[in-house]
Amino acid sequence: MQQLPQSLQEWLLYLESLHPKTIALGLERVVEVKQRLQLEPTFPVIVVGGTNGKGSVCAMLESILHAAGYRVGCYTSPHLLDYNERVRIDKRLASDAELCASFAQIEQARNDIPLTYFEFGTLAAMQCFIAHEVEVAILEVGLGGRLDAVNVFDSDCAVVTSVDIDHTEYLGSTREQIAFEKAGIFRAGKVAIFGDPDMPDAIVTQVQKVGATLWHLGKQYSFNIGELQWDYQGTGGKRSSLPFPALRGAFQLNNASTVLAALDALKEQLPVSMSAIRRGLTEVELPGRFQVVPGRPQLILDVAHNPHAARSLARNLASMPPYPVTYAVCAMLKDKDMAGVVRELLWQVDVWLLAGISAPRGATAEELAEVVRQELIEGEVLTFTTVAEALNHACKAANENDRIITFGSFYTVAEALRAK
């Protein structure tokens, strides 16, 4: 019998080798292993999908429910620096030992069933949550929804934050096709929340098909912005004089109000006080989402990797005070809409510092530079082998009143965090 990996790093290398494809959509294999492990949560489950905003919604839900005194399990992906970031219990990262123990149980149960890296990790996260007897689990969809491994667990409330064009090779090339895939997480008799005022028809169709109850931002729930505070109005009533979330960005109130809608949907199972909401909103943290790093010149990190996210980043940058020069450190995966991302940010960037990503799908600096030059009207373009080199150049070239934005993928922000 083959000896099982011993360390977390050995396990992760082993998991990468198990399935011929990094992404293999479909639930049959995961369902079979889940049943063998008898992974049946007895606590409420919140599933969060969407093109952008998933991480913010998960982080705010986790922060508020933790402030309310619940033992919260939260599963998100991808991670920035350490795999342990993906599995949190009581806002504590799962330890190497806990993850290795869960991986070992799954390995013994799966026998000859091939699982992808993400499928293995999803089952391990739920195994950890059950073992720790959490009182609520928040699960972030990895890709799409209908055929994503997270969807083997029935949700008590399902959230789709937004729908835009991304992952077209798996989800379809139109917003309606992508919405159909994301709406696959809705369940009969449960609340299905859509957190974008512009709702595709496929969301309504799927809600009606499965018999869910639709709550739509701007219809069943909404928010109003004051000068220093904001108000929420939903089916559970009004919540007034709320603090702005600690997460920066123009779209965070869309996300925050969607979080409060989810809490309204589960108020019988998980009652939450106003004090917990206020505390949770002010204490929430999420690295890499319009993260402003203290110091000068101003450094901003954002994982924006599709046009929708880049548009949000551009709006957030525009809302800041003017800067003499803005340097953009950018690296992207070649299967993303690189031109679309660049187009959204052209008017905010003076100097482009482009780097390669040393990953199977990573674009080289030269490939990205070709895209930028095709879109660019004016501005400087420089190329570097790594993000660290590009960021180092930006820090040396920028004056203390200038601004550096680093974006394009999780890989990009991760390398910047290691380098800073």
| Nearest residue to 391 (alpha-carbon basis) of 351, 353, 349 | 353
Residues 6+ apart with CB under 8 A from 382: 351, 352, 353, 354, 390, 393
360: Cα within 13 Å, side-chain hemisphere: 4
Q: Over 90: is that where the pLDDT of 81 sits? A: yes
Task: Identify the pLDDT of residue 166.
Answer: 67
- How long, in residues, is the chain? 420
Place of tokens 């290795």: 100
Q: How far is residue 256's CA from residue 6's CA, in Å, rounded to a whole number?
A: 41
Using a pLDDT cut of 90, give the percent of the chain over it.
85
Question: Residues 255-261: what's their mean pLDDT?
Answer: 98
199-221: pLDDT as tens digits: 999 999 999 999 999 999 999 99
Contacts 24+ apart (CB under 8 A), 94-99: 94/125, 94/128, 96/7, 96/8, 98/128, 98/131, 99/8, 99/11, 99/124, 99/128
- Report the alpha-carbon angle 121-309-167, nearest 5: 50
Using a pLDDT cut of 70, give the percent of the chain over it.
96
Q: How confident is the model at residue 19 (pLDDT cuts 50, 70, 90)?
A: low
299-313: pLDDT as tens digits: 999 999 999 999 999
Domain residue spans of the chain: 8-283, 291-419
Q: Over 80: is that where the pLDDT of 104 sits? A: yes
386-418: pLDDT as tens digits: 999 999 999 999 999 999 999 999 999 999 999
Q: Over 90: is that where the pLDDT of 420 sits? A: no
Task: Identify the pLDDT of residue 351.
Answer: 97
β-pair partners for 72:
136
Amino acid at 140: E
Q: Over 80: is that where the pLDDT of 20 sits? A: no
Q: Looking at the domain covering 291-419, what would its CATH class be?
A: alpha beta
Q: Over 90: is that where the pLDDT of 366 sits? A: yes
Task: Identify the pLDDT of residue 251.
Answer: 85
Q: How confident is the model at residue 22 (pLDDT cuts 50, 70, 90)?
A: low
Q: How far is residue 341's CA from residue 314's CA, in Å, rounded to a whole number?
A: 10
Q: Say what the alpha-carbon torsion angle 116, 121, 123, 125 is, to the nearest 10 degrees.
A: -170
Contact 115, 105 (CB under 8 A): no
Task: Identify the pLDDT of residue 277.
Answer: 98
Q: Over 60: is that where the pLDDT of 283 sits? A: yes
Q: How far is residue 299's CA from residue 294's CA, in Å, rounded to a whole number?
A: 8
Q: Over 80: is that where the pLDDT of 62 sits? A: yes
* DSSP letter, residue 318: H
Question: Residues 266-286: what's their mean pLDDT?
Answer: 97
3-state helix, strand, coil in the chain (%, to 5): 40, 20, 40
* DSSP letter, residue 86: G
CATH homologous superfamily for the domain 8-283: Mur-like, catalytic domain (3.40.1190.10)
| Nearest residue to 57 (alpha-carbon basis) of 262, 272, 259 | 259
Task: Identify the pLDDT of residue 167.
Answer: 66
Q: How confident is the model at residue 23 (pLDDT cuts 50, 70, 90)?
A: low
Task: Identify the pLDDT of residue 21.
Answer: 63
